[in-house]
Amino acid sequence: MEPVRTVEGRAIPFGRKNIDTDVIIPAHWLKTISREGLGKGAFETIRTDPDNIFDSAEFAGSPILVAGDNFGCGSSREHAAWALLDLGIKAVIAPSFSDIFSGNAFKNGILTVVLPQEQVDRLLEVARTEPVTIDLETQTVTTPFQDRFSFEIDPFRKHCLLEGLDEVGLTLARDAQIAAYEARASTDMPWFAKGTALKDTGIPA
């Protein structure tokens, strides 16, 4: 997982409320176990409109999505986070998120920023013409018009995102401790060691 420190660029001013995971990535795209290519199916029903914002040349490659309240509700499909990543989205700003979606986004390196509705409305306005900057270290969202909005984030999630640590990375970061434990265990509990007979039970290893 790549570290997330600053996300800067044009933000897609989406703003719709109660967008569920079936809108983010429809069910017929869930047959794949690959994270690649799902961007083509992201917001598929919305993109049937030729004038939709996701296919607008103005917002091509935008790393930020400004959404409405209760973003990511519905099913728990992790494909929703994969689709956003494949679309190029690295951060989503909204008044609130589904807990499951927020967790899936975090595990895949997507920063979810919760701001009050009035601040989201301001960002929707700015995003139509100007870039937006999210600084995870200072926990702020800023605009070229001197807007500066602070957001809260769980300290553990902040650490993992800043360091680019997913669940595998967190485990590997404790490689020395794991090796030390296994060395102690082979001495303290030799019956777990490969090839050691279970002498007390008479059962061969």
pLDDT in tens, 159-204: 999 999 976 666 666 677 776 776 677 777 776 666 554 555 555 5
Which regions in the chain score pLDDT beneath 70?
167-174, 179, 182-183, 191-205
Spatial contact of 21 and 75, defined as CB atoms under 8 Å apart: yes
Residue whose tokens read 């008479």: 202
Domains of the chain: 6-165 (3.20.19.10), 174-205 (no CATH)
d(CA 192, CA 154): 38
3-class DSSP state for residue 68? coil
**Strand, helix or coil for residue 183:** helix
Question: CA dihedral in degrees (199, 200, 204, 205; nearest 10)?
Answer: -80
In whole angstroms, give the CA distance from residue 121 to residue 67: 10
pTM of the model: 0.84
Question: What backbone torsions phi and psi does residue 8 show, to the nearest 5 degrees?
Answer: -140, 140
Tokens of 121: 């409305």
